[in-house]
Amino acid sequence: MSDIEKVQCLIIGSGPAGYTAAIYAARANLSPVLYTGMEMGGQLTQTTEVENFPGYPKGIMGPAMMDEFRQQAENMGTDIRFGVATKVDFSGTLHKVWIDDTKEIHAESVILATGATAKRLGLESEQRLNGKGVSACAVCDGFFYRGKPVSIVGGGDTACEDALYLANLCPEVHMLVRRDELRASKVMQSRVLKNERIKIYWNTEAEEVLGDDEVEGLRIKNNKTNETQILTISGFFVAIGHTPNSSIFKPFIDTNNQGYVITKPKSTETNVKGVFACGDLQDDKYRQAVSAAGTGCMAALDAERYLGVLHEG
């Protein structure tokens, strides 16, 4: 028999969105309970220095920043626990969530902040040098490679946007495309093809990221000729998409064709009353820490209003 606990506000996820939601929910006396998920702190724990979040004029390491978010949420009164939501039932007014398949939570309101996971190539060297020159976010980390040659892999809109962003900072952007054409919109394709700093390698994949403690080069292979060559680069950006962590919610929560949770315009409300979504779980456009934090604030305010009406009734 599972252990059942009743809470006013349950927050699932512990990145900038989840922690910000917790801060606002705690200040509103909602007695929030937050479960961190497997990756406590979210994607920022996989990054090195963060320079683009307001309030940190000298920058801050991603893990340290998330630890400060956690401390602030705890200081406000959030009950933060390590655990993973493994099952949900949003069919009734009281929302049921199972943690680690054992503990059952009955929540009046639920804030979903489980984020999205960047897709990877699956190379051992990519994993080993992650955060040491390998990145899945050009906007987050491109600034560190200004004036240096970099490479990016991908052929969609995100890859093209990232390549153009990097071209404003770097003298050479080596763009690897698996096929013989880009999948991006015609406008984005045109911009990339016209940019003299971007060199496209068609039918090409990354074989190995080179370097011991930091990225020094990249071995690539042409799929048609089987020829390999080595590029001298300082940064390697993987832009092949993200997978929103929404799978357990899909039986009840509406998502788009990519799996991102759909929220109502100018709101974090989902199709289920009392369930709200914030951060990268519902944002397939900006995917920044600061925008995630903003939607976390919105989710807590939306939950506060919902609970106010619920209790009045």
Tokens representing 276 are 């709200």
What phi and psi, each to the nearest 5 degrees, are found at residue 89? Answer: -140, 100
- Considering 9, 141, 280, 302, which one is annotated as catalytic? 141
- Considering 3, 9, 79, 137, which one is annotated as catalytic? 137
3-state helix, strand, coil in the chain (%, to 5): 30, 30, 40
Identity of the amino acid at 271: N
Sign, Cα dihedral of 261, 267, 273, 277: positive
Identity of the amino acid at 236: F
Question: Which alpha helices (DSSP H) does 62-185 contain, by range?
Answer: 62-76, 124-128, 138-141, 157-167
User: Does the active-site annotation cover 278?
Assistant: no
In the three-class reduction of DSSP (H, G, I as helix; E, B as strand; rest coil), residue 9 is classed as strand
- Considering 3, 79, 140, 280, which one is annotated as catalytic? 140
User: Does the active-site annotation cover 297?
Assistant: no
User: Does the active-site annotation cover 137?
Assistant: yes
Q: What angle do CA 170, 171, 175 make, to 5 degrees?
A: 75
**Cβ atoms of residues 276 and 112 within 8 Å:** yes
Distance, in Å, from the CA atom of 215 to the CA atom of 151, rounded to the nearest integer, reads: 11
186 CB neighbour count, 10 Å cutoff: 8
What phi and psi, each to the nearest 5 degrees, are found at residue 231? Answer: -100, 140
- List C-alpha distances in Å: 208 to 127, 196, 215: 11, 26, 11
Q: Are strands 228-232 and 217-222 parallel, antiparallel or unpaired?
A: antiparallel
Active-site amino acid positions: 137, 140-141
